Amino acid sequence: MSLKEKIIAESKRLGIDKIGFASAEPFTYLEESLREQKAKGHTSGFEHPVIEERIYPERTFENPQTIIAIALAYPTKIKEKVPRDEKRGMFARASWGIDYHDVLRDRLDKLIAFIQAQAASMEAAEDWRFAPQVDTGELVDVAAAQRAGLGFVGRNGLLITEEFGSFVYLGEIVTNITLAPDEEVPFGCGECTRCITACPTKALLGDGRMNAQRCLSYQTQTKGMMPEEYRKKMHNVIYGCDICQLVCPYNRGKDFHFHAEMEPEVETVYPKLKPMLSLSNKDFKVQFGHLSGSWRGKKPLQRNAIIALANVGDRSALPDIWRCATEDVRPVIRGTAYWAIGQLGVKEPALWLARLQECQSLDPEEEAQQELGPAIARLQAVLDKQAP
């Protein structure tokens, strides 16, 4: 067996669902697009900041020859029944189970250890070097995976594989070992534009790029006030967004349960919303700390839980939301609570109008105050309609 064949065989033994090999030549075709996206303000800010390092592997790795790309398929359906006891939120599927960064790094490290073990019987192998990365590195993961033949980049910007659709996590290893490259997979979306049509915020640009600032997944990860135009569109999903994947024909019927670490727990990925508003830091780490969706901390998820409670019309949550409005030290949480009270308080407009008016003289933060005016106006309009 060649070294490449040995690596492929070992990848299967390690539970890597798909592997491919690409040259480490520069991704020059990406440069114009990446610069244009940055100039237009379409980037999220979570990307690697140096465009040249995203395009030229040699900027961060001496003498790169090969990129070994891997994919692991993740579940799309939960085995447990989701209780209907009270209103719950939802994490997008890419945040189910243990943080995928940890799962992929484990597989990449084990694969590197295997390759290094082959060095004993091969000349010049003592000079082999490896740089693993999982979506926080320099390379554009989908571009590396496409070049390595794992799939093609769809109109939604995600890698679409033949076997698993786009429900895959991606990682890669840059190495100075020369290995035969695989063939790229041709673009397979044809004339289909279902993802573009379905995107509720029109974030997808139609050519595999997006305005990341408009993506609901991005909006659920920000730490400031969520712009009002996105709040109702997220419904009860408190982290991420699956819409462009769920409508994709390549994903129809796809649901794989190959990896125990990726199995979701219902109380974690479909959490009760009201208890989230009063979670301590310790409880947050226990319940959500192992998820990739916890990486931005507690505040964005609590903000999103308040929005979700308003979206699902849970008026029983008003006392909990009122506590956030009056007791929470974070202006973003108070401001979001004011907005939610304006949405949920319409059945008792006089009561909640008076309470919000009281907050106008008590809340010192402009960020929170900006939400009070529209919420008060909404409740006042309801009262005015009820007036004889």
Active site residue ranges? 135
Residue pair 57/64 in contact (Cβ under 8 Å)? The answer is: yes
User: Which DSSP category does 25 fall into?
Assistant: -
The contacts of residue 360 (CB under 8 Å, 6+ apart) are 369, 372, 376
Beta strand 90-91 pairing with 237-239: parallel
Tell me the CA distances in angstroms from 337 to 146, 242, 271, 328, one per residue in order.
44, 26, 19, 10
Instruction: Round to the nearest angstrom and report the end-to-end CA distance of the chain.
Output: 87
User: How are the residues of the chain apportioned to helix, strand and coil, as percentages rounded to the nearest 5?
Assistant: 50, 10, 40
Instruction: Report the length, in residues, of the chain.
Output: 388
3-state secondary structure of 35: helix
Closest by CA position to 90, among listed 216, 235, 203:
235
Spell 5-42 as b/e; 16+ CB within 10 A means b. eebbebbeebebbbbbbbbbeebeeeeeebeebeeeeb
Let me know if 2 is exposed, middle or buried by CB neighbors in 10 A (0-12, 13-18, 19+).
exposed
Write phi, then psi, for 67 (nearest 5 degrees): -115, 120
